[in-house]
């Protein structure tokens, strides 16, 4: 299937899926193109549309096999007008982090990789707004970036079987907060007391693509106090 505009490739992704890859000057712009296409398709809401799963630079379109084939989906992509602004008003969140909390502290390994001291690591992690590129892997897990190159760390060689809820983590030029206990392969910086995911909320996931996040440092006492606060 022929690429067009800032779409570089369109590939089959299973019997009922097409994955569309985008490219722009920067990752933020690429991701905005992904989100814009997602909104455009969602807005036109064709009868065959099952789900739209955005990645960093891709959009997986799942369709109902009884109502469409890949050619139908391709035509819809060609005719989509991905210009509109998001209905979802982007939110800005400030999230507290108890850096180097005992259960989530990979500072030694991170220092070894980057040559940064503990205070430099915290400084780099708290001195810029991060952009939420996409949400996935686990409910409410928001992929944020981009970290400064100097803080870039590879994933663990062997993933951990359990990372605690609230763990703040980094991998490559990404950062995230684990919304619940889960396996994980990222390096850990500390713990965030803010709940990001709750099945009982009307919208169970707090961080959405397009939102921005700034982290700030707190100590153990503040962490404990914030954990006890309702909501």
Partner 1 sequence: MSLVNITIQDAGMLTLVVDAGRSLAMQEVGFCVSGAADIRSYHLVNWLCGNPRHNAVFEVIGSFGMQVSEPCIVATGGPEFTLTVNGQPASPWQAMALASGDILELCPARLGTRSYIGIAGQWALPLVAESQSIVMREGAGGLNNDGQPIRRHDQISIQTNDKPSRQLRSLLPQAIPDYSLGTALQMIPGYQYASFEGWQQQLFFSSEYEVTNQIDRMGYRLKGQPIVCDTRTMRSEGINFGAIQLPPDGQPIVMLSDRQTLGGYPKLGCVAEYDIYRLAQAVPGDKVSFAPVDIDNARAQWLLRHRLDQQLFEGESQ
Report the interface residues with partner 1, using CB under 8 A: 11-17, 19, 50-60, 62, 65-66, 69-70, 134-141, 143, 180-183, 199, 204-205, 208
| Closest to partner 1 by CB, 203 or 228 | 203
CB of 5 to partner 1, least distance (A): 19
Phi-psi region of 112 (alpha: psi -120 to 50; beta: other; left: phi over 0): alpha
| Closest to partner 1 by CB, 93 or 123 | 93
CB of 114 to partner 1, least distance (A): 19
CB of 41 to partner 1, least distance (A): 12
| Cα(148)–Cα(54) distance, integer angstroms | 23
CB of 40 to partner 1, least distance (A): 15
| Closest to partner 1 by CB, 121 or 147 | 147
Find out whether the peptide bond into 146 is cis, omega within 30 degrees of 0.
yes
| Cα(167)–Cα(183) distance, integer angstroms | 11
| Closest to partner 1 by CB, 99 or 141 | 141
| Closest to partner 1 by CB, 20 or 168 | 20
> Which two tokens mark 190?
């500390």
CB of 222 to partner 1, least distance (A): 27
Q: Phi then psi for 150, rounded to 5 degrees?
A: -65, -20
> Which two tokens mark 211?
């939102």
Strands 130-135 and 167-171, sheet pairing: unpaired
Residue carrying structure tokens 């630079």: 57
């Amino acid at each position: 299937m022929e690429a067009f505009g800032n779409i570089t490739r369109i590939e089959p992704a299973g019997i009922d899926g097409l994955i569309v890859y985008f490219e722009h000057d920067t990752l933020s712009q690429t991701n905005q193109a992904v989100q814009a296409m997602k909104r455009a398709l969602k807005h036109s809401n064709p009868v065959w549309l099952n789900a739209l799963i955005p990645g960093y630079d891709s959009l997986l379109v799942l369709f109902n096999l009884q109502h469409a084939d890949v050619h139908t989906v391709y035509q819809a992509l060609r005719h989509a007008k991905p210009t509109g602004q998001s209905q979802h008003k982007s939110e800005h969140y400030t999230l507290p982090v108890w850096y180097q909390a005992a259960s989530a502290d990979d500072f030694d390994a991170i220092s070894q990789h980057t040559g940064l001291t503990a205070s430099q690591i915290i400084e780099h992690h708290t001195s810029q707004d991060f952009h939420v590129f996409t949400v996935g892997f686990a409910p409410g897990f928001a992929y944020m970036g981009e970290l400064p190159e100097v803080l870039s760390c590879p994933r663990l060689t062997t993933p951990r079987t359990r990372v605690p809820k609230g763990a703040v983590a980094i991998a490559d030029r990404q950062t995230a907060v684990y919304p619940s206990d889960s396996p994980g392969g990222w390096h850990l910086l500390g713990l965030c007391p803010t709940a990001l995911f709750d099945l009982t909320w009307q919208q169970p996931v707090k961080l959405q693509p397009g939102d921005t996040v700034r982290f700030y440092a707190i100590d153990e006492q503040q962490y404990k106090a914030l954990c006890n606060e309702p909501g």
